[in-house]
Structure 1
């Protein structure tokens, strides 16, 4: 088994997306369902990529698809918490991108959960891997520290 990750602080991330928890996100124990964490991370990632023009599959430009993800939990969050998800690009290859994210309660400096998503750039029509275009690489560089 690998060594457990430690929580990061806000300064480990380049950008933040604010998300509101919902009543139906809570399980019978009063904290968020595990799948909800993944949904929140996915929403923050898609907002960030969408703002950079990288999710328009109808444009003909290459798009990114998730090929791997994972989450480590540090402390509970629940409704009605207002959350900020920090994002950063940890690594960029020829056609792959590793995004790392941290989920923070409003006003807290230590993340409650940490996630990673590995994306592969694919042709929007064939869905075959292709090099990440220069304009998309430049847009993603805004998320590097």
Structure 2
């Protein structure tokens, strides 16, 4: 997917509101870059918990992030109202690559976009394992039509 396409709201399948906080701003008056990764993580994990049955406290399968990147396009700051956007770029046997973006509420072009990869592992052994059926079904709902899983 091109960078221009990755910035467009129409390329994402699920959205969640994100409220900025005063402490998100840095000395330059905009949200510090580390916040975008936290917003990405919040967006993906909210979807996994609410729509895929992921039990982060007691489930035997958990996801580890093994790769992440973010492209910053436009500064955001408190008190902006944001939306985290999510799609699935690639779905493998034990891993999933998400496409993520942060939008100002109502804007069509993302302020930032990126991706990260979860590898699902057994909580005890920390060894990769096939994505559980309920989790896979939820992830398939977000699979990008142009993806090759």
Q: Same fold judged by TM-score > 0.5? A: yes
C-alpha distance in structure 2 between counterparts of 1:74 and 1:30, whole Å = 16
Distance in 2, matches of 1:110 and 1:70, equals 18
Establish whether residue 58 from structure 1 lines up as the match of residue 61 from structure 2: no
TM-score between the two structures when normalised by the length of structure 2: 0.89
Q: CA RMSD in A?
A: 1.5
* Separation in 2, partners of 1:15, 1:55: 20
In the alignment, structure 1 segments of 5+ residues that lack a partner are none
Superposed displacement of residue 112, structure 1: 0.5
Q: How far off is 1:55 after superposition? A: 3.7
What secondary structure, in the 3-state scheme, does the structure 2 residue paired with 1:115 have?
strand
Contact (CA 8 Å) 1:57, 1:124: kept in 2 or not? no
Query: What corresponds to 1:119 in structure 2?
Result: 118
1:21-60 aligned within 5 A: 21-51=20-50, 52-60=52-60
Q: SS at 2:110's partner residue?
A: coil
State the TM-score, normalized to the length of structure 1: 0.91
Q: Number of paired residues? A: 141
